Structure 1
Amino acid sequence: MSKLLHNIKTKTRFMRIGDWCVVTTGIVLVVVLFQQLWSHEGATRVQIRLGDTIYGTYSLNQQRDIQVDGAIGPATVSIMNGKARFSKSPCHNQYCVHQGWLSRSGQAALCLPNQLSLELIGEAKHYDSLNY
């Protein structure tokens, strides 16, 4: 019995050319699928919502600061170099401000106490768990 185990171990110790082809093909397939499914295109516009209504849609190509009067006070949305963010907000914890710059299509920032949201919009919708 031990001779049988020894033969199995010695024969499976080294990978053969077919094994390397299968492993290489699998790795390439995983990398390509990851890039295709999870890469996001750059956004072209930012949509600002106040409550359940669209406050405005702005191009990301122009540098500007937009002041929006929310439920608890004025908030400032900054647009610069193809990115957008909440730069000032009257909310207590400042989670929306700390979220930072948004640059890819489909990204969003929310200021729940002020009932404001930003969503970046590109030419095509990207895949996410909500689309599934």
Structure 2
Amino acid sequence: MCEHGIGEANDDEGAKRWEAILSEMIFLLNEANKDKSTRKNKYQKEYEKANEEFENKYGVFGEKLLTKAEKAEEKKNGTQRVYMLGDVPEYKEISELYFNESRALDDYRDDCKNKALELFSKWFWDLWD
């Protein structure tokens, strides 16, 4: 009778550990997904607002910022000079903050993916037992 109780306790503990491993894999895979991740770019709204202001002031690709010389160069060469948010001093800071945060989030999601795949590889054969 005593052995049976110990076995059940071990089975319960093993089931809890297995559930924790599966839960961690699921969490990490969700975190690796940009749309499902719990971490978001904290500068997203401010960046979008700045981008809207930029487009209203300077045009979609900053065409209102072009000098006469740049316009002539474009016409001559068939090229197009594109200005982005970070090219304008008043928006440079938010642009840098947003893109630095984006890179950090990409690194985080990549780490989550790698950890999930390590767990998946380690426990692969146990997933179908």
Please report the TM-score for the alignment, with normalisation by the length of structure 2: 0.31
Q: Which has the higher contact order (CA 8 A, sep 6+)?
A: 2
More strand per residue? 1
More helix per residue? 2
Name which one, 1 or 2, has greater alpha-carbon Rg. Answer: 2
